């Protein structure tokens, strides 16, 4: 029987190289219930947030949604994202060390 576990995965100082914030463990499924990205700079910046499938197909959740300086956007806004083994969420900015990210996840679901 699955052990349903709530977890947070975080990444700080995300910059111009995509950072894998979360990868679903082998043989598991997960539900992402929050995907918050905070712009830690004083200027508005575009955020790139992607679901990367196990076969490396990239699905954009956000291509260039601008986040105002010093603010946070939840890219799921009350929706949920079901993920399967090997899939991951990654985040990227146009400026070095400019985003912090928190994913809220229900892991090991049936």
Q: Residue 63's domain is classified under what CATH number?
A: 2.60.120.340
**Predicted local confidence at residue 3, as pLDDT:** 76
**Predicted local confidence at residue 110, as pLDDT:** 79
- What whole-number distance in Å separates Cα of residue 14 and Cα of residue 26? 25
- Rounded to 10 degrees, the C-alpha dihedral 65/68/70/71 comes to -60
**Predicted local confidence at residue 1, as pLDDT:** 52
If one counts the domains in the chain, the total is: 1
Q: Which two tokens stand for residue 4?
A: 């349903």
**Predicted local confidence at residue 55, as pLDDT:** 97
Domain range for 103 = 5-107
Q: Which two tokens stand for residue 71?
A: 């603010």
pTM for the full predicted model = 0.93
Ranges of the chain with pLDDT below 50? none
CA nearest neighbour of 47 among 21, 26, 27: 21
């Amino acid at each position: 029987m699955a052990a349903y576990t709530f977890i947070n995965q975080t990444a700080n100082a995300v910059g111009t190289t995509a950072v894998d914030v979360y990868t679903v463990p082998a043989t598991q499924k997960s539900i992402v219930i929050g995907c918050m990205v905070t712009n830690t700079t004083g200027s508005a910046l575009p955020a790139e947030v992607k679901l990367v499938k196990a076969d490396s197909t990239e699905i954009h959740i956000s291509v260039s949604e601008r986040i105002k300086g010093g603010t946070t956007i939840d890219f799921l806004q009350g929706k949920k994202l079901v993920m399967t083994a090997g899939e991951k969420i990654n985040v990227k900015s146009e400026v070095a060390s400019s985003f912090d990210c928190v994913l809220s996840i229900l892991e090991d679901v049936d």
